[in-house]
Amino acid sequence: MTAIFSDEIIQDIDTCLKELAVTTAFLSMDRYMQHGDTTCLWHSIAVAYYSLLLVRMLRITCDRDSLLTGALFHDYFLYDWHAKDRSHRFHGFRHPKTALKNAMGIKNLNPIERDIICRHMFPLTPIPPVFKESIIVCLVDKFCSFYETICRNTYKTIKGRGVIITEN
């Protein structure tokens, strides 16, 4: 997961993050753990990065901007799902809708972006993604989640070479 690197993709993600850092709570995702020692912020960055990398390696034509936006926001639920709280019950099933609601509070999302966020937990949630962009994020999310669950100190290459902003 850490061996392949693309400066161009990191730059695209970084541009997006810089915009989001100014106007939104996006970087606060770094406070919430996702899997292992990987935070929701880094999980989302990694899913975006590897989705874009996969598209490039396989020469898949798609809406790259929607892929990036949807991947970055796919887990924008903004809470620690490990914390015992009634509102976190059924997190696996419910968080895509929470992420969509939070993301829609920031910007209007197109149908591809909405599908990426809403359907990324398929097959846990029953309705499958319909766009190639959402299918890609659904698959990459599974690989990233598995990697984060079994490894520590994840995504060293992206963290080491990417220009990532810190939250104020």
Q: x/- string (CB under 5 A) for Fe ion, residues 33-72?
A: ----------------------------------------
Q: Does 113 bind Fe ion (CB under 5 A)?
A: no
Minimum distance from residue 124 beta carbon to Fe ion (Å): 9
Minimum distance from residue 66 beta carbon to Fe ion (Å): 17
Question: What residue type is assigned to position 129 of the chain?
Answer: P
Question: What residue type is assigned to position 70 of the chain?
Answer: G
Residue placing its CB nearer to Fe ion in the complex, 7 or 55: 55
Q: How many residues bind Fe ion (CB under 5 A)?
A: 2
**List 115, 133, 141, 148, residue binding Fe ion (CB under 5 A):** 141
**What CA–CA distance (Å, rounded) separates 139 from 27?**
24
Residue placing its CB nearer to Fe ion in the complex, 55 or 168: 55
**What CA–CA distance (Å, rounded) separates 153 from 103?**
28
Residue placing its CB nearer to Fe ion in the complex, 34 or 55: 34
Contact partners, residue 149, CB within 8 Å, separation at least 6: 35, 36
Minimum distance from residue 20 beta carbon to Fe ion (Å): 17
Residue placing its CB nearer to Fe ion in the complex, 75 or 115: 75
Per-position DSSP letters for 16-50, written without gaps between them: HHHHHHHHSSGGGGGGSEEETTEEHHHHHHHHHHH
Minimum distance from residue 26 beta carbon to Fe ion (Å): 15
**List 48, 75, 137, 162, residue binding Fe ion (CB under 5 A):** 75
Listed in sequence order, the DSSP H helices in 24-131 are 40-57, 64-73, 91-104, 111-119
Give the residue carrying structure tokens 């766009």: 131
**What CA–CA distance (Å, rounded) separates 116 from 106?**
16
Residue placing its CB nearer to Fe ion in the complex, 22 or 103: 103
